[in-house]
Amino acid sequence: MSTPKIGVALGGGGARGLSHIPVLQALDDMGLTPHAITGTSIGALIGAGYAGGMSGDQLEEYTLETLGEWKKVLGKLVEVSMPKRFADLIGGKSSFGQFDSKRVLEVFVGDVLKQDFSELSIPFQAIAADYYKAEEVRFAEGNLVDAVSASIAIPFVFKPVHLNNTVLIDGGVVNPLPFDVLPGDCDIVIAVDVVGTPKKDEKRAVPSATESVFGATQILMQTISQEKLRIRAPDLSIFPNIKQYQVLDFLKAREILEDSAGLRNSVKVELDQKIENYLIS
pLDDT digit string (tens) for 10-36? 999 999 999 999 999 999 999 999 999
- Of the chain, the end-to-end C-alpha distance in Å amounts to 11
Q: How many helices (H) and strands (E) does the chain have?
A: 10, 8
Q: Domain for residue 173, yes or no?
A: yes
- Which stretches does DSSP call E strand in 97-134? 124-130
Closest CA to 8 of 187, 263, 175: 187
Q: Give the model confidence (pLDDT) of 126-184 as tens digits.
A: 999 999 999 999 999 999 999 999 999 998 899 999 999 999 999 999 999 999 999 99
Q: Domain for residue 163, yes or no?
A: yes
Task: Give pTM, 2 decimals.
Answer: 0.91
Q: Calculate what percentage of the chain has a pLDDT beyond 70.
A: 94
| CATH code: domain of residue 149 | 3.40.1090.10
> By residue range, what is the domain housing residue 34?
6-276
Q: Domain for residue 79, yes or no?
A: yes
Q: Domain for residue 281, yes or no?
A: no
Q: Are residues 72 and 138 in contact, defined by beta-carbon separation less than 8 angstroms?
A: no
Catalogue the active-site residues: 41, 170
Q: Say whether 168 sits in a helix, a strand or coil.
A: strand
Domain count, the chain: 1
| Residue 85: per-residue pLDDT | 44
Q: What whole-number distance in Å separates Cα of residue 2 and Cα of residue 23?
A: 22
Q: Domain for residue 223, yes or no?
A: yes
Q: Domain for residue 193, yes or no?
A: yes
Q: Give the model confidence (pLDDT) of 202-252 as tens digits.
A: 778 888 888 888 888 888 898 998 888 888 889 999 999 888 898 889 999
Closest CA to 247 of 218, 269, 271, 220: 218
